[in-house]
Chains A and B, each alone.
Chain A
Amino acid sequence: MTDVDARAAMHLSDASVSVELETQGMTLNIGPQHPSTHGVLRLVAKVEGERVTSVQPVIGYMHRGYEKLSEVRTYAQITALVNRIDWVSGFANEIPWIRAVEKLMEIEVPERAQWIRLILSEMTRISSHLLFMSSYPLELGAATPLMYALREREYVMDLIESVTGGRFHPNFNRVGGVKPVAGGGSTQKKVSQDLPAGFFQGTREAMDRVDSVMDELDELVTGNEMIRARTIGVGVIPPEKAIEFGLSGPNARASGVDFDLRRDGEPYLPYDQVDFDVITEQTGDSFARYLVRKEEIRQAVRIVRQAIDTIKPGPLQAKVPRVLKVPKGQAYVRTENPKGEMGFYLISEGGRIPYRVKIRSASFCNLSILPWVLEGALVPDLVAIMGSLDFVLGDVDR
């Protein structure tokens, strides 16, 4: 598909305005502005009637230059920026970055900070998957799960905001732990940023609400024969292909690849002290991807409930110097983000700014399977498959 003429053909298909119906197929340009491409993704699709013969994704409309920006920003500034890579799961983006810096500086993070990071990470996972639960049925035509899922997501967002101050971009991690105090001045130093009063009670209520809305959504969406007819058997990805293309996270687990960085990778948070199941499905179709994310919400609720019972008082940040200088070295840390596996490769030459930061984002690799999986699919299935892969363009383009 990537021969020399392809690019010329792409520009030609851009230029043609009139209706050209050749009997051997039509080039359909889907996007970049489109209701269902999860952002500014452009697909140059060749269709014959209702079947897609080939699809070429064109990305880069959202490129913001994270890796270049990281060459001229200090570590604290990059922490603030990194939230915005996968904007749906803000807190989860900070974790691999901060862990990479901590790995280079060889800092040990105090217990309470690790537990707070775990609670917020799992809440971010709940919020990201709830957004998937709301937008995926919408692409299939059902408009009500959108409102139900988003309604409960607000409670989780409010909890994250009550601790960190930000709903989508918390910027709560600091090297060595989480944000300990409100500032550097003398009185601000006494304002601790620990969990506010009412957090545990609020979390318990919010988790109950999430559980009950998941029951509602189960009845409304999972058992619905039409959703099943639209998604079962659609976009099947066998496990070998999933590993070949670098799929990770719920997409890979839906194909039967039993790999979860929380359990199998290098430990970055105290997941070994909580009890949770890693959900896998064997069929690898869109319905399986939907089921995996749905069940992951319930598992995340379980983890949060256990975590708020296990957390103990303690310091929030290890001792780090005021002006942060990271020693020379390289570190790569990967974590289980809601979208998949996210990794940060940090090269530091000493000093206040990193030398190079490379971001391995989950959605970029998840997106790479599109030309393979969409070949031969029907045009409505294009939407179903793209929605089930659950990528975010900010994550793809960085």
Chain B
Amino acid sequence: MAEQTNGGGFPLKGLFTGMKVTIIELFKKPVTVNYPKEKEIPVPRARGVIALDTEACTVCMLCARECPDWCIYIEGHKEEQPPSKEGGRVRTRATLDRFDIDYALCMYCDICVEVCPFDALFWSPDYEYSEAKIADMLHPIERLTEWLDTVPDAPSLEGS
């Protein structure tokens, strides 16, 4: 189906149809989104930044183990808690000391969020956290907890 002619018509017709396309485009509105005055809103599932719910985390270290880049740094210790019933054994509870995600290394692959068995990690579509220094890209536990406010609800599904 090779068209070896320019589709018929007078010679150099292709050049003029090309010019017609550009002149029509000249008078249309540009599609530029004028960042930072206007911003594009990413979809709810977009993988922007990871948020941490410290209450749910049990320091099981699954996310740090499964991360392909090893960009999650976790330290925790066990605390003793009073027994649930009188005379029962002393319970221990693991508490987080340190939970850092290094976004300079993170490749946004979604493995840590997916393997967490306790609903401690969530995706948020927020993307405006660039820094001037690479060291600032390490988000400590407080910053990760702040991102929880930006986590959207899951979108409704097709056909539901």
Contact = CB atoms under 8 A, between A and B. Distances in A.
A198 B45 CA distance: 14
Interface stretch (B1-9, B72-80, B84-92): B1-9
Nearest to A287: B2
Contacts of A281: 1-2
Contacts of A291: 1-3
Interface residues of B, number: 50
A165 B45 contact: yes
A18 interface: no
A7 B20 CA distance: 51
Q: Which of A183, A194, A295 has the most CB of B within 10 A?
A: A183
A228 B6 contact: yes
Nearest to B123: A165
B109 interface: yes
Interface in A15-59: none
B59 to A, nearest CB: 15
B158 A195 contact: yes
B62 to A, nearest CB: 8
A223 B160 contact: no
A232 B122 CA distance: 53
B131 to A, nearest CB: 22
B116 to A, nearest CB: 6
A225 B6 contact: yes
State the majority secondary structure of interface residues on B: loop
Interface stretch (A184-192, A368-376, A378-386): A184-192
B142 interface: no
A166 B108 contact: yes
B14 A223 contact: yes
Contacts of A199: 158
A186 B15 contact: no
Interface string B9-25: 00111110110111001
B156 A184 contact: no
Nearest to A216: B21
Contacts of B11: 225
A6 interface: no
A328 interface: no
Contacts of A216: 21
A28 B130 CA distance: 40
A187 B109 CA distance: 20
Given A76-B66, A171-B109, A165 B47 contact: yes
B126 to A, nearest CB: 13
A113 to B, nearest CB: 15
Given A161-B42, A183-B121, A197-B156, A76 B6 contact: no
Interface string A257-277: 000000000000000000000
B140 interface: no
A77 interface: yes
A183 B114 contact: yes
Contacts of A9: none
Interface in A188-212: 188, 191-200
B119 A188 contact: yes
A158 B44 CA distance: 11
A63 interface: no
A191 B158 CA distance: 13
19 contacts: A151-B31, A161-B46, A163-B45, A169-B107, A179-B110, A183-B115, A183-B121, A195-B157, A196-B155, A197-B157, A219-B14, A220-B22, A222-B14, A223-B6, A224-B15, A225-B11, A225-B14, A282-B2, A291-B1
Given A161-B45, A169-B108, 7 more contacts: A77-B111, A80-B109, A171-B109, A182-B113, A185-B119, A195-B159, A219-B18
Closest 5 CB pairs of A and B: A185-B119, A223-B14, A80-B109, A77-B68, A196-B155
